[in-house]
Structure 1
Amino acid sequence: MGQPITSVANGVKVSLRNLTLSFGGINALKDVSVDIRENEILAIIGPNGAGKTCLLNCLNGFYKPQKGEILFEGKNISRIRPDKAAKLGLARTFQNIELFSGLTTLENAMAARHVFMKQNLLTGALYFGPAHNEEIRHRRVVEDIIDFLEIEPVRNKTVASLPYGMRKRIELARALALEPKVLLLDEPMAGMNTEEKEDIARFIVDIFEGQGESYPDTPVLRDGVRTIVLIEHDMGVVMDLADRIVVLDFGRKIAEGTPEEIKNNTQVISAYLGESSKR
């Protein structure tokens, strides 16, 4: 049996309880229980094929687990659709970039804001009154995010024309445009050079901590995102950023703890980290 669910009052934002996901008889996740808490960066690590991305796909509705429950702020969202998950406050980036390559940076970020738009198609098409004012409000949020992520120079450039590292940053901008309560980052530094990784690590810390009155009209930047789930293979980054780490192997949770506890866990060393992690 998995671990018991901690109540929302004790700081748990999302609870995964005995989650099981199978494809054609192969278990991608097997009886996985994890509490995702407020005020922490939770890293999920493990070898390729361990089930890390499958777990995120269950969290935001891309996959539906065959068994178990996912509770978000006490509400069962195990069968939720991705668009509903986004409206509730679960936003993510993808291991493989999932941007609209024919649109500009600004247009990609604005596309995310459509989940919040309340005006109907008629008023939106006429572009008068409330619809126009609503667009201005959404654009202000997006412009703040573009400024924060230092992508102003490419705001009007087509995404397909941009280098890989910049596109990963734009995908982060789109996730922030959804104003998440929980931010799910699936290998946000994959394929990046050292300088690009350092930039993304800095942004993750700044997103978590919030920027205060530097962005007074954009709550996601002003107040920060106080619950972040990070999948990352760079163990140096994980050990520096994470408050807590969950380790998966062949779809099962084999360990959970602080970076120091994980670094010295013999089962984790055997399955994933290797002997050098002890030095």
Structure 2
Amino acid sequence: MDSWDDLRYFQAVAETGSLTGARKRLGVNHSTVFRRIKGLEEKLGVRLFERWDTRYQLTGAGELLMVRVEQVAEAIDDVDRMILGGDQTLEGKVRITCPDGFAYYQLPPLLAEFRALYPGIEIELLADSDDLNLSRMEADIALRATNNPPEHLVGRKLMTMPWQLYGSERFAHGQSGVYTAKTLSGMPVIGPERALLRLKPMQWLEKHCSAVSIVARANTLMGMAALVKAGLGVALLPDDVADGLPPLGTLDRDFHSDLWLLTHRDLRSNARVKACSQFLTERLMR
């Protein structure tokens, strides 16, 4: 095997289950991923994946290799974080991952202010519904909506965001400000897809979808909000993505999201990460 690069392609396909997923993660084209996997199998003389249409499933040999790859990847990540954690320069890149609503509405003016204070620091904003892995250094700082932050990350809670039902008044039908699955049954509802189903409010909605009329779905909260703005129906949303939307009321249960600012404990001494974390905490904490 010539390099760790071969194993990175293998790991990306194994974890995403497809060439397309690996392509998106690695930022390369489809043919490059296919060529690297094919070349790796030829070098090792074994099939690492079974192909099922567009899905790639590990063979027995692939599973054995994956165990070793995970061990190597973890060791490399540990070294990279140790080196980066000791960097005391205020120049270079800081990658921030956050919910899409924050990326569009709250963060841009704050990041412009931060750049004026620290012109040597380049900000990379990663708006994503999926939680990027800070242990793998997919991001340096995470603004994450969660009520249970991972124990291996450090940080603090910035605020609590309530969830409400949003939509134009024509959908309210004279209802009170508190809704149940039963009172939602006569209303057109925008539902969640994919990564959003990890959120408790979305799980509640999916559980009751047989009693609720789902007229459209989106895989991001911003997408759901956009469908509400277009007049397709109503949606259960946190306040940070509901910019300009009229609230109709709440559900008959308390749904809220705590927003945390988190980083990996190995990076908390990095000067750039520390400066950015402190700045955002001061501006957002309430």
TM-score normalised by L of structure 2: 0.22
Q: Which has the larger radius of gyration?
A: 2
TM-score normalised by L of structure 1: 0.22
